Amino acid sequence: MVDDNKLGLGARRVVMEELGYKVFAAASPEEALSLLDLHTVDLVITDYRMPAMTGTELIGQMRARGFQQPVIIISGFVDALGLNEANTGADMVIQKSAHEVAHMVRSVRSLLKPRSQRKPPKRDAHTAKSLVRRQRA
């Protein structure tokens, strides 16, 4: 789990640990890359906007190093920046909101299932609006 905001990182970490997951926390993308060199992980959750490197740049560096496990990006700028799975390299993109934790837990559970058991992501009204906007442009 990667986030330069220690409060957000701590809160998400506590939730995942209470659900029985072992969590490695990194306060920067550089620290996350170091942890990935030392530990085998099943999934990465990262913030998008961080100093020195965005979550998308982190994903690029992870993929360049051969890391193929799923990645979730959480950001308060999903709508403003038009972030989605296709333009970030993430397997799931979550908007920071009152429902963020529930979305994160569902996403983690879904992505950690074997690929053969995963359902395709649902297209909610937000995603449909984004697709309509992109098609018109």
How do residues 75-89 score in pLDDT, each as one tens digit? 998 988 999 999 999
Smallest Cα–Cα separation from 70: which of 112, 31, 37, 100? 112
Q: Phi-psi region for residue 25, left (φ > 0), alpha (ψ -120 to 50) or beta?
A: beta
pTM listed for this prediction: 0.81
Tell me, what amino acid is at 129? Answer: K
How do residues 34-88 score in pLDDT, each as one tens digit? 999 999 999 999 999 999 899 999 999 999 999 999 999 999 989 889 999 999 9
Domain boundary assignment for the chain: 6-136
In terms of CATH architecture, what is 6-136? 3-Layer(aba) Sandwich (3.40)
